[in-house]
């Protein structure tokens, strides 16, 4: 519980009133501030067989043993790890039933933040994606289906093509007869990243997540024939066997980036921004830079890994082009280069510049995208939704006749195969999933990633916690998710009468809006429900 002490005697002695959060002993007068625990922890004492597993499972040290399990409610983050692992299923974690006077303007969240900042004077941190109740556009879009006049396709008996190639496509393709009597392309094709289904895993570095979590994701990518992304944390030995399915990231800190790293992956990504923290750099605190993390990032143990907000060699589109081609030169033009940006107001013009700078893919991260750590105020208030960003970027690139020069990856709040299908219909080539993949590993969205104490072993470097993920099991769970979404996408395509996902790309005519403002519909390029073709 935070408390502020008013040092009355000293203040009077010095002739000034001063409020301090100093907790030195001997200060008598206390001004208590109340910040209620978010959750309450209870167990059925009759059923509890005192195995103490819950105490060991909690990464936040909420529970202790005093002849029985005793909770410190203020430490519980509501991750439900103890509940899930209790052999007697006798634990219940529930939101603290707080009866504060309701106030439509001053939500309890606002009040708590003020109390905490009055206590600490610090920038509030959080994890995962924006949790504020903004309207979700995906939930106001519906897909078309075939009836009578245009037959649907049954994916159970007809082939469905989900295979997706990300990268530059030629203006036109000339073919010629090869010596073996087969037709072959005469046009030189640019390197593309081949995906068996239009899904990638979002960048999550070793350091931000555990190696067991990253390895689970990498193995799932290899199994599903899709791609994972190193994030800005280098390539650890353990995941090198899956490097041919990796997008290796080059961001402002250049951690672990060297020529061998750039050439190890299937593609290279230049990270400019992230949906959860547009315009903000990254910052892995020194205490999280263990020996192993230091080796992968190629920095000293215990040193802060600071990724400055901009890349200081990129202050313009021309500078971006310079880095894109530096990477192409260093990889001898064998790897497609992706540029990742946060979706912001001017995203269409920025994307146009990125394509003209020579990028082969643009990764658009909407304002609901996840993070291991970000200032709460940034996560919750900067950027625009991915639905809008994809629509305006696709539209702009088409208008300028350069849509073929780069693929679009949509990310930041893709929750289901329906969101994926809608994002593709709005103009994406593929979607990237981060939060969904972590949910498959057990994440319950407690949003405490930044503490590094994740009880599920995902967002932590504590070996006691990280070993809770067995990559063989974790990868299967994530691969299952990818397979399920792919099968559902096939069902959706069949209902739409399509047999290839590329036929859905940018096909906004197959979308209709429900309860969306005229302005939003116009930006999306989508008609309201009820309007026919």
Residues that bind another protein (CB under 8 A): 116-117, 119-125, 250, 252-254, 257-260, 262-263, 283, 285-286, 294, 298-300, 302-304, 306, 308, 312-313, 322-323, 325-327, 329-332, 375
Please check whether residue 43 is in contact with residue 63, taking contact to mean a CB–CB distance below 8 angstroms.
no
Q: Which is nearer to another protein, 337 or 482 (CB)?
A: 337
Q: Which is nearer to another protein, 104 or 291 (CB)?
A: 291
The distance of closest approach from Cβ of residue 469 to another protein in the complex, given in angstroms and rounded to an integer, is 27
How many angstroms separate the CA atoms of 21 and 12, rounded? 17
**DSSP annotation string for 488-517:** HHHHHHHHTT-SBGGGTTT-GGGEEESS--
Q: How many CB atoms lie within 10 A of CB 390?
A: 32
Please check whether residue 206 is in contact with residue 214, taking contact to mean a CB–CB distance below 8 angstroms.
yes
The distance of closest approach from Cβ of residue 397 to another protein in the complex, given in angstroms and rounded to an integer, is 25
Q: Which is nearer to another protein, 327 or 431 (CB)?
A: 327
Q: Smallest Cα–Cα separation from 452: which of 465, 442, 436?
A: 465
How many angstroms separate the CA atoms of 204 and 308, rounded? 17
The distance of closest approach from Cβ of residue 361 to another protein in the complex, given in angstroms and rounded to an integer, is 20
The distance of closest approach from Cβ of residue 409 to another protein in the complex, given in angstroms and rounded to an integer, is 24
Q: Which is nearer to another protein, 116 or 527 (CB)?
A: 116
The distance of closest approach from Cβ of residue 357 to another protein in the complex, given in angstroms and rounded to an integer, is 14
The distance of closest approach from Cβ of residue 257 to another protein in the complex, given in angstroms and rounded to an integer, is 5
Q: Which is nearer to another protein, 59 or 198 (CB)?
A: 59
Q: Which is nearer to another protein, 291 or 533 (CB)?
A: 291
Q: How many CB atoms lie within 10 A of CB 500?
A: 14
Q: Which is nearer to another protein, 232 or 419 (CB)?
A: 232
Q: Which is nearer to another protein, 115 or 165 (CB)?
A: 115
Q: Report the half-sphere exposure of 234 (CA within 13 A, side-chain side).
A: 21
How many angstroms separate the CA atoms of 276 and 465, rounded? 25
How many angstroms separate the CA atoms of 428 and 126, rounded? 29
Residue 87 CA: distances (Å) to CA of 41, 81, 91, 211, 505: 16, 12, 10, 28, 48
Q: Which is nearer to another protein, 33 or 136 (CB)?
A: 33
In SS3 terms, 146-178 reads as CCCCCCCCCCCCCCCECCEEECCCCCCCCEEEC
The distance of closest approach from Cβ of residue 106 to another protein in the complex, given in angstroms and rounded to an integer, is 20
- Our CA angle for 359, 269, 422, nearest 5°, is 75
The distance of closest approach from Cβ of residue 306 to another protein in the complex, given in angstroms and rounded to an integer, is 6
The distance of closest approach from Cβ of residue 194 to another protein in the complex, given in angstroms and rounded to an integer, is 24
The distance of closest approach from Cβ of residue 364 to another protein in the complex, given in angstroms and rounded to an integer, is 25
Q: Which is nearer to another protein, 32 or 300 (CB)?
A: 300
Token couple for 79: 């991750």
Q: Which is nearer to another protein, 165 or 325 (CB)?
A: 325
The distance of closest approach from Cβ of residue 262 to another protein in the complex, given in angstroms and rounded to an integer, is 7
Token couple for 2: 């935070």
CA end-to-end distance (rounded Å), the chain: 60
Q: Which is nearer to another protein, 124 or 142 (CB)?
A: 124
The H or E element containing residue 222 is helix 211-224
Helix, strand, or coil here: 2?
coil
In SS3 terms, 324-339 reads as HHHHHHHCCCCCCEEE
- Our CA angle for 274, 431, 210, nearest 5°, is 60
Q: Which is nearer to another protein, 216 or 405 (CB)?
A: 405
The distance of closest approach from Cβ of residue 123 to another protein in the complex, given in angstroms and rounded to an integer, is 5
Backbone angles phi, psi at 527, to 5 degrees: -85, 155
How many angstroms separate the CA atoms of 168 and 189, rounded? 8
The distance of closest approach from Cβ of residue 419 to another protein in the complex, given in angstroms and rounded to an integer, is 32
Q: Which is nearer to another protein, 205 or 294 (CB)?
A: 294
Residues 6 or more apart whose CB falls under 8 angstroms from that of 16 comprise: none
The distance of closest approach from Cβ of residue 98 to another protein in the complex, given in angstroms and rounded to an integer, is 21
Please check whether residue 160 is in contact with residue 493, taking contact to mean a CB–CB distance below 8 angstroms.
yes
**DSSP code of residue 428:** -
**DSSP code of residue 103:** -
Query: Dihedral sign, CA of 338, 198, 421, 249?
Result: negative
How many angstroms separate the CA atoms of 348 and 393, rounded? 4
Q: Smallest Cα–Cα separation from 33: which of 109, 118, 110, 122?
A: 118
């Amino acid at each position: 519980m935070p408390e502020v002490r008013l040092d009355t005697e000293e203040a009077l002695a010095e002739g000034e009133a001063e409020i301090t959060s100093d907790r030195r002993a001997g200060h008598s007068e206390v001004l208590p501030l109340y910040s209620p625990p978010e959750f309450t922890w209870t167990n059925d004492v009759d059923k509890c067989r005192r195995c103490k597993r819950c105490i060991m499972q909690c990464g936040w040290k909420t529970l202790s043993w005093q002849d029985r399990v005793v909770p410190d409610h203020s430490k519980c983050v509501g991750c439900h790890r103890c509940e899930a692992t209790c052999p007697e299923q006798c634990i219940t974690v529930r939101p603290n039933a707080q009866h504060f006077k309701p106030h439509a303007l001053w939500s309890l969240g606002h009040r708590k933040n003020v109390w905490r900042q009055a206590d600490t004077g610090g920038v509030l941190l959080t994890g995962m994606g924006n949790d504020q109740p903004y309207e979700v556009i995906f939930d106001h879009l519906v897909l078309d289906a075939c009836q009578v006049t245009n037959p649907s396709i049954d994916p159970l008996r007809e082939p469905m093509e989900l295979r997706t190639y990300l990268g530059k496509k030629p203006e036109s393709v000339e073919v010629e007869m090869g010596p073996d009597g087969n037709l072959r392309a005469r046009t030189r094709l640019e390197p593309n990243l081949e995906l068996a289904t239009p899904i990638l895993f979002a960048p999550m570095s070793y350091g931000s997540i555990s190696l067991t979590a990253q390895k689970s994701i990498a193995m799932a990518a290899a199994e599903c024939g899709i791609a994972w992304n190193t994030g800005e944390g280098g390539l650890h030995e353990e995941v090198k066997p899956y490097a041919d399915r990796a997008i290796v990231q080059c961001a402002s800190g250049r951690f672990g980036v060297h020529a061998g790293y750039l050439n190890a992956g299937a593609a290279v990504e230049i990270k400019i921004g992230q949906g959860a923290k547009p315009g903000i750099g990254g910052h892995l605190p020194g205490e999280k830079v263990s020996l192993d993390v230091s080796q992968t990032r190629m920095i000293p143990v215990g040193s802060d890994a600071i990724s400055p907000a901009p890349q200081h060699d990129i202050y313009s589109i021309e500078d971006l082009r310079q880095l894109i081609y530096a990477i192409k030169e260093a990889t001898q033009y064998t790897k497609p280069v992706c540029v990742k940006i946060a979706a912001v107001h001017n995203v269409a013009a920025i994307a146009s510049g990125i394509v003209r700078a020579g990028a082969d893919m643009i990764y658009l991260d909407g304002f609901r995208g996840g993070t291991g750590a970000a200032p709460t105020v940034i996560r919750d208030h900067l950027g625009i939704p991915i639905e809008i960003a994809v629509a305006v970027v696709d539209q702009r690139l088409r208008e300028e006749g350069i849509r073929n020069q780069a693929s679009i990856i949509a990310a930041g709040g893709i929750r289901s195969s329906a969101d994926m299908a809608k994002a593709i219909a709005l103009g994406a080539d593929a979607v990237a999933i981060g939060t969904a993949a972590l949910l498959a590993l057990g994440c319950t969205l407690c949003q405490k990633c930044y503490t590094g104490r994740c009880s599920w072993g995902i967002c932590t470097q504590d070996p006691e916690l990280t070993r809770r993920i067995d990559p063989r099991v974790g990868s299967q769970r994530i691969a299952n998710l990818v397979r399920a979404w792919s099968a559902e996408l096939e069902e959706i395509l069949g209902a739409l009468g399509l047999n290839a996902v590329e036929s859905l790309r940018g096909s906004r005519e197959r979308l209709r809006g429900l309860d969306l403002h005229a302005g939003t519909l116009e930006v999306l390029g989508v008609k309201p429900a009820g309007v026919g073709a």
